[in-house]
């Protein structure tokens, strides 16, 4: 380690090098109590990470669901992803839609492909968002496992506005919801009814994770999606649905199967929450939408 030009000394004040391997912020948590990194800008050296991932020739799948009117979000999503998401790496976009004729043709950089799969829609919007888990888990077994190493699963009503690279990748990662990172766990909107499969007791829950962004190896994402889908179906059979749908079941899964990396709110922001001094860069942001129009049939 001492011959590595980018090394950081373990004790302060001795670094001397221009380009440090990492910067420790003292105003935010940088590591979870179970020793998973919390990813903040400056905490990593992207050149080292890129070299490591290139050596493995890593392939990254990005799953996107654009059903009904949500096809309108695809163009900006993909265009901004081309600029900021995993630039220089192999990327496969997997778009699931009930309106394949509405998918715009977009030009992609070398090493990047886009695949459209037709799926049937559901009447209830809660089913539209929740059934993503079923489709992800089925496709993990049928194709993702043969085609990519990592999966990133995201909402489609988002745009990238700054770098998002291999620093997010790990066996299984989750992102902290931007509305909850300054709140105590009692305020988290977890499902609190013990009869639901999404149940988390008031005195438990590490973070409140967003449902709009998670990922990991195909093997791990299969477990996540399969758990969430089965939990939803078990609840459905009892005529109960967790408070925040897929997000609630996801939070329940991550309580007992801890993520190996946690993304700070830099990695999922929503301008509904304005700005925060703790979040110098908004890398992946929910777009404002006309809820009534976009969600009507
Ligand atoms: C239609 C009516 C109401 C709500 C959603 C939809 C809808 C969602 C749709 O007509 N077509 C569609 O493709 N979707 C997909 O589901 C799309 O990928 C979208 O990004 C995702 C989640 O729906 P969205 O973005 O409207 O919900 P948000 O931004 O409030 O999402 C949070 O809460 C959801 C559960 O209530 C999910 O957990 C989501 O992951 C969270 O970010
Ligand atoms: Mn969304």
pLDDT digits (tens, 9 = 90+) for 207-228: 999 999 999 999 999 999 999 9
Answer whether residue 17 shows pLDDT above 70.
Answer: no
Mapped onto helix, strand or coil, the DSSP state of residue 210 is: strand
Nearest by Cα to 240 from 191, 188, 202, 295:
191
Produce one character per residue of 146-168: b if its CB has 16 or more CB atoms within 10 Å, e if not: eebbbbbbbbbbbbbebbbbbbb
Q: What average pLDDT score do residues 42-61 get?
A: 96
Between 22 and 133, name the one with better pLDDT.
133
Range of the domain at 138: 38-288
Q: Is 7's pLDDT higher than 70?
A: no
CA distance from start to end of the chain: 59
So what's the pLDDT on residue 237?
A: 98
Q: Which three-class secondary structure state does DSSP give residue 180? A: coil
Residue 15 lies in a domain: no
Model ipTM value: 0.97
CATH code, domain carrying 70 = 3.90.550.10
Distance from C-alpha of 61 to C-alpha of 112, rounded to nearest angstrom: 10
Q: Above pLDDT 90, what percent of the chain? A: 87
C-alpha distances (whole Å) from 61 to each of 94, 170, 233 are: 7, 14, 26
Whether residue 6 has pLDDT greater than 80: no
For residue 121, is it within any domain?
A: yes
297 is a domain residue: no
Q: Answer whether residue 129 is part of any domain.
A: yes
* pLDDT surpassing 50 at residue 244: yes
Those residues with Cβ within 8 angstroms of residue 160's Cβ, 6 or more apart along the chain or in another chain? 77, 80, 81, 83, 84, 85, 283, 284, 285
- Residue 65 near ligand 1, beta carbon < 6 Å: yes
> Quick check: is 7 in a domain?
no
Q: Is 67 in the pocket of ligand 1 (CB under 6 A)?
A: yes
Give pLDDT, residue 23. Answer: 67
Ligand nearest to the CA of 74: 1
Above 80 in pLDDT, residue 8? Answer: no
242 C-beta closer than 6 A to ligand 1: no
Q: How far apart are CA 156 and CA 99, in angstroms?
A: 15
- Residue with the bigger pLDDT between 2 and 197: it is 197
Residue 235 has pLDDT above 80, yes or no: yes
In a domain, 28, yes or no: no
Amino acid 20: pLDDT: 52
pLDDT of amino acid 18? 47
- Find the 54 Cα to ligand 2 centroid distance in Å: 31
CA atoms within 13 A on the CB side of 212: 17
Q: Could you tell me if residue 14 is inside a domain?
A: no
pLDDT higher at 20 or 29:
29
Q: Which secondary-structure segment (H or E) carries 69?
A: none
pLDDT in tens, 118-174: 999 999 999 999 999 999 999 999 999 999 999 999 999 999 999 999 999 999 999
pLDDT bin (cut points 50, 70, 90) of residue 193 is very high
- Residue pair 268/209 in contact (Cβ under 8 Å)? The answer is no
What is the average per-residue pLDDT within 99-105? 96
Whether residue 32 is contained in a domain is answered as no
**Average pLDDT over all residues of the chain:** 93
Burial class (CB in 10 A: 0-12, 13-18, 19+), 127: middle
Q: 85 and 62 in contact (C-beta within 8 Å)?
A: yes
Out of 129, 157, 269, 284, mutate this one to test ligand 1's pocket (max ligand atoms within 8 Å of CB): namely: 129
Question: If you average pLDDT over residues 169-186, what whole number do you get?
Answer: 97
Number of domains in the chain: 1
């Amino acid at each position: 380690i001492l011959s590595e030009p980018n090394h950081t000394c373990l004790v302060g004040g001795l670094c001397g090098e221009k380009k440090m391997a990492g910067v420790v912020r003292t105003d935010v948590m940088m590591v979870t109590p179970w020793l998973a990194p919390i990813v903040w800008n400056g905490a990593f050296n992207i050149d080292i990470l890129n070299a490591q991932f290139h050596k493995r020739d890593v392939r990254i799948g990005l799953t996107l669901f654009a059903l009904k009117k949500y096809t309108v979000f695809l163009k900006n999503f993909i265009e901004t992803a081309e600029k900021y998401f995993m630039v220089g790496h192999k990327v496969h976009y997997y778009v699931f839609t009930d309106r394949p004729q509405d998918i715009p043709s977009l030009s992609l950089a070398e090493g990047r492909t886009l695949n459209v799969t037709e799926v049937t829609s559901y009447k209830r919007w809660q089913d539209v968002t929740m059934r993503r888990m079923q489709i992800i888990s089925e496709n993990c077994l049928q194709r993702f496992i043969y085609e990519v190493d990592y999966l990133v699963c995201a909402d489609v009503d988002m745009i990238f506005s700054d770098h998002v690279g291999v620093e997010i990748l790990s066996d299984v990662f989750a992102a902290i919801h931007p509305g909850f990172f300054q709140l105590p766990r009692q305020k988290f909107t977890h499902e609190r009814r013990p009869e639901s499969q999404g149940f988390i007791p008031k005195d438990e829950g590490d973070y409140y994770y967003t449902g709009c962004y998670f990922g990991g190896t195909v093997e791990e994402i299969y477990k996540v999606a399969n758990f969430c889908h089965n939990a939803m179906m078990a609840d459905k059979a009892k005529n109960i649905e967790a408070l925040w749908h897929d997000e609630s079941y996801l939070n329940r899964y991550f309580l007992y199967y801890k993520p190996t990396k946690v993304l700070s709110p830099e990695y999922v922001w929503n301008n509904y929450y304005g700005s925060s001094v703790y979040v110098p860069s908004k890398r992946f942001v929910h777009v404002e939408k006309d809820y009534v129009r976009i969600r009507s049939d």
